[in-house]
Amino acid sequence: MKIADNTLIVITGDHGEAFGEHGQMVHGFSVYDEEVHVPLIFVNDKLFPRGMRIDRIGRQIDIAPTILGLLGYEEPPQWQGVNLFADNSPERAYLFSTSGNFSLGFVEGNFKYIHDFDRNTDELYDLAHDPAETHDLSSDSWRQAQLSRDRLRVDAWLSYQDRYLANFSRSRSRPSSTSQ
């Protein structure tokens, strides 16, 4: 029937799983790599006859725009994600955890920054030299400017998301022109 010729199979996960790496035995309690690194695999012999691997940052909000792009469609302008096969791939990926402590962070280049809002603490990791995130660089005095900049980025991202989500709740609460 050649159904596979016209089928795009997408394999992914919504979270990783902790097995004690940072003191956690479940998921959703941190933004360490073991909880946020998930597979993303696209399968279609017509689109990827020789296979390929992309080693750049991707976010879950990029999955839907990537699928639309592979199928030849443009993503809606209100979507935040991008097509991972396009030239405008994201430079940083923001991360959050609301189970346990409320933590926000991001990965950009070789660095991961994490701010724990409940404890008001920062963590900074050089992923190129410490992929297991075991050596926190936030106490290095010469990293303080980087930490301050990164905290401002997290605050700005949180503020943007609050406004972005508020637009959706306002548009849903407005009566439509056809309602009575």
Strands 92-97 and 40-43: unpaired
- Domain made up of 3-53+91-173: CATH architecture: 2-Layer Sandwich (3.30)
The stretches of the chain forming alpha helices (DSSP H) are 33-36, 63-70, 144-173
Burial class (CB in 10 A: 0-12, 13-18, 19+), 158: middle
In the prediction, which pLDDT does 53 show?
85
pLDDT in tens, 106-152: 999 999 999 988 899 999 999 999 999 999 999 999 999 999 999 99
| Token reading at 126 | 């050089």
In the prediction, which pLDDT does 174 show?
45
Domain residue extents for the chain: 3-53+91-173
Q: Indicate whether 166 pLDDT > 50.
A: yes
Helix, coil or strand: residue 23: coil
Comparing C-alpha atoms, which of 92, 125, 122 is closest to residue 107? 92
